[in-house]
Amino acid sequence: FNKKIFSFRMNFIWVERLHCLFIFCFLLNSHFLLVLSGRDFYSILRVKRDAEPDEIKSSFKKLALKLHPDKNQDDPAAQEKFQDLREAYEVLGDQKKRDIYDKHGEEGVKKMDDGGGGFGGHDPFSSFFGDFFGHGSHEHDEETPRGADVIFDLYVTLEEVYKGKFVEVKRKKSVYKQTSGTRECNCRHEMRTQQLGAGRFQMFQVRVCDQCPNVKLERQNKILEGAGRFQMFQVRVCDQCPNVKLERQNKILEVEIEVGVDNGQEVRFIGEGEPHIEGDPGDLVVKLRVQPHDRFERKGMDLYTNVTVSLQQALSGFELDIVHLDGHKVHITRDKITWPGARIRKKDEGMPSLTNNKQRGILYVTFDVEFPRGEFNAEQKKQLAELLAQDKFEPKVYNGLQGGILYVTFDVEFPRGEFNAEQKKQLAELLAQDKFEPKVYNGLQGY
DSSP assignment, residue 143?
A: P
Domain assignment of residue 340, given as a range: 297-441
Assess whether 340 and 217 both reside in one domain.
no
User: Quick check: is 331 in a domain?
Assistant: yes
| CA dihedral sign of residues 145, 147, 153, 158 | negative
Q: What is the CATH number of the domain that holds 321?
A: 2.60.260.20
User: Quick check: is 333 in a domain?
Assistant: yes
Evaluate if pTM is beyond 0.85: no
Full pLDDT tens readout for the chain, 447 residues: 444 444 545 555 555 665 556 555 555 554 444 344 578 999 999 998 888 888 888 888 888 878 877 778 788 888 888 889 888 998 998 888 898 888 888 888 887 766 544 434 444 334 333 443 344 444 444 467 788 888 989 999 999 999 999 988 888 777 767 666 554 445 566 667 676 666 676 666 777 665 544 433 344 444 444 444 444 444 455 555 556 666 777 888 889 999 999 999 999 888 888 888 777 888 999 999 999 999 999 999 999 999 999 988 899 889 999 999 999 999 999 988 898 999 999 999 999 998 888 899 999 999 999 888 878 888 888 888 888 877 777 887 877 666 556 666 667 777 777 788 888 888 887 777 777 788 888 887 644
Assess whether 302 and 284 both reside in one domain.
no
User: Quick check: is 32 in a domain?
Assistant: no
User: Quick check: is 260 in a domain?
Assistant: yes
d(CA 343, CA 341): 6
Assess whether 375 and 350 both reside in one domain.
yes
Rg, Å, the chain Cα set: 38
* Nearest partner of 60 among 90, 21, 27, judged by Cα: 90
Q: What's the length of the chain?
A: 447
Domain count, the chain: 2
Assess whether 408 and 388 both reside in one domain.
yes
Assess whether 336 and 250 both reside in one domain.
no
Domain end among 291, 320, 337: 291
- C-alpha dihedral, 399 to 405 to 408 to 410, nearest 10°: -60
Domain end among 237, 258, 291: 291
Assess whether 242 and 260 both reside in one domain.
yes
User: Quick check: is 336 in a domain?
Assistant: yes
Assess whether 430 and 310 both reside in one domain.
yes
Domain end among 264, 291, 318: 291
Assess whether 229 and 192 both reside in one domain.
yes
